Amino acid sequence: MQEVAGSSRPSDGLLYSKSGGKRPVSHPPMADPADFDHRVRAAIYRWFVERTEAPAVADIAGVLGETPEAIRDAYGRLFRKRVLFLEPDGETIRMAPPFSGVPTQHRVRAGGREYFANCSWDSLGIPAALHAPAEVFSRCEQTLEPIHLTVGPDGPAAERVVAHFAVPAAKWWADLVYT
């Protein structure tokens, strides 16, 4: 343990009170926000993959050993870059495409876990993101008939279904929940 120059206190990564008590140092985000945002994004996706649900700000702060404020700021930057879609509170993840933070009609079963996708397109994105075979359970919005797809490494098996996107992809973010 090194001593802090000009002090009798050790430089062990802990802050010491005048009474000698110690508490962990809150580490500021990396100097490059893009690097920090990449770490936050990776932690969010790892959380979705392992737990099948959206993490709270406090969850990611705990995983990365960062402050909730630093994580909230990163969420905001990731939202502005269209990596995350947040609820109006600015910190609850609604979408981390292809994963949905809320239950939807598009369920994907892979590796013994069940995930929610944001839309039919994202229901195919989850097996691709996981690099795993999967089953997709959804429904036709015209007939309300159930749809079940088996997805392998090369994509979905041939079925008599069609995916239709009424809004062009370039306009999805204008109203992402609707699209």
Domain count, the chain: 2
- Pairing assessment for the beta strands 85-86 and 106-110 based on DSSP bridges: unpaired
65 lies in which domain range? 33-96
71 is a domain residue: yes
| Claim to verify: residue 167 and residue 110 sit in the same structural domain | yes
44 occurs within a structural domain: yes
**CATH number of the domain bearing residue 83:** 1.10.10.10
User: Do 85 and 103 lie in a common domain?
Assistant: no
Note whether 47 and 56 are within 8 A (CB).
no
CB 87 within 8 A of CB 95: no
Q: Is residue 89 part of a domain?
A: yes
Confidence (pLDDT) at 14: 36
* CATH for 167: 3.30.450.410
The pLDDT tens digits for 59-110 are 999 999 999 999 999 999 999 999 999 999 999 999 999 999 999 999 999 9
Whether residues 106 and 170 share a domain: the answer is yes
Task: Say yes or no: 90 and 122 in one domain.
Answer: no
The answer as to whether 127 is a domain residue is yes
Looking at the structure, do residues 81 and 132 belong to the same domain, yes or no? no
Answer yes or no: do 104 and 170 share one domain.
yes
Residue that is last in its domain, among 48, 81, 96: 96
pLDDT of 13 reads 36
pLDDT in tens, 116-145: 999 999 999 999 999 999 999 999 888 999
For the segment 140-179, what is each residue's pLDDT rounded down to a tens digit? Answer: 888 999 999 999 989 999 988 888 778 887 887 777 776 6
Q: Is residue 1 part of a domain?
A: no
In this structure, is residue 52 part of a structural domain? yes
From the list 36, 40, 1, the residue with the least C-alpha distance to 22 is 1
Are 44 and 63 contained in the same domain? yes
